Amino acid sequence: MLDTSRRTAFDEQHDMFRESVRKFFESEGKPNLDRWEEEGLVEQAFWLKAGEAGLLCPTVPEAYGGLGLDFRFNAVVAEEMAYAMVPAGFTLQSDIIVDYLLNYGSEAQKQKYLPRMVTGELITAIAMTEPGAGSDLQGVRTTALKDGDSYVINGSKTYITNGQTADLIIVVAKTDPSQGAKGVSLLLVESDAEGFARGRNLDKIGLHGGDTSELFFNDVRVEADALLGQEGHGFYYLMGQLSQERLSIAVSAQAASQKALDLALAYAKEREAFGKPIFALQTMRHNLAEMAAKVQVGWAHLDWCLQRHVAGELTPVEASAAKLFHTDLQWEMCDRALQVHGGAGYMNEFPIARLWRDSRVTRIFGGTNEVMKEVISRGI
């Protein structure tokens, strides 16, 4: 399990919360990991249990059914979920979607959606990426054109997390295609809207237990009050939320790095070669020592980021650097841990194989790490 005894970002309240989160994933998550991997999604019943246990959307104010806690409680859930290798899309809902509604939503939108997001009755997604537009959000082709008191949405999205299970989707679309970034808006589309269709649950390298989908919008008509925030401000809203999104990715990546190290240590101490555990070999010990040192540094940096974020001081450059560093670390730790396992690491029955597969995407989503370097370079 994660050792939090020397962490600087958390207090006793967070530690008590962590105990309940850890127990939840142990009892409700672990027994279902293989089934979710086979079925390709996490069913809503698990979301409802998580909501009942207080794991969803901790930062939502009490006025909307939440606990009104700080982002560090989100981090506790993300760390424990990543360490337990649970593939549910909780962080998307709690760390990303919630803040769009809190910061830009109308009072009616908040009252309508936030309480059900807290309970798990409502699963959410955000539809940004398109077949021809990935990290370049200005290049979206999906349109939402005004028609009287409504918007009519046409276009397609891909690689959408929670796409198969989402009841509510924030759709990134052009309300004025002639204005480039200034023509981007965000609209709330419910999954029962006429003209909305889900494509296939995409066949991914990893994260098999989490659904990722194509979504199609064919003359989907929504009322004007489905607009999230102001028309034409969508691109700026997206940019404004990226820091927390990237920090959230860094949090999960760091916990996965620790998991990889722990799996490698356990295997090295029990696997024998030449009549003794492979941990007795100096090359193996030194390899694991290097891994442990890097993970240790990672935790110190993550706590620094979390403390700055809750104080409102984490900059977009620092958040991008965190995403870059921790996802690179995750991949290195998972790859080295698999190597420690030797041939066993290539077998799907060993957890490191799944952890290694699942880790590959974190250097891509939330903005590729190449984009992170560009963002950082502009700020130094």
Nearest to 320 by CA among 310, 333, 305: 305
Longest dimension (CA), the chain: 79
Q: Which of 79, 130, 231, 245 is catalytic?
A: 245
101 by DSSP, 3-state: which? helix
Catalytic annotation on 39?
A: no
Neighbours of 296 (CB within 10 A): 13
Distance CA 189, CA 170 (A): 6
Burial class (CB in 10 A: 0-12, 13-18, 19+), 149: exposed
Q: E strands within the chain?
A: 124-127, 143-147, 150-161, 168-174, 184-190, 196-201, 212-223, 227-228, 272-273, 276-277
Distance CA 354, CA 85 (A): 9
Distance CA 248, CA 342 (A): 31
> Does residue 237 contact residue 229 with C-beta atoms inside 8 Å?
yes
What residues act catalytically? 245
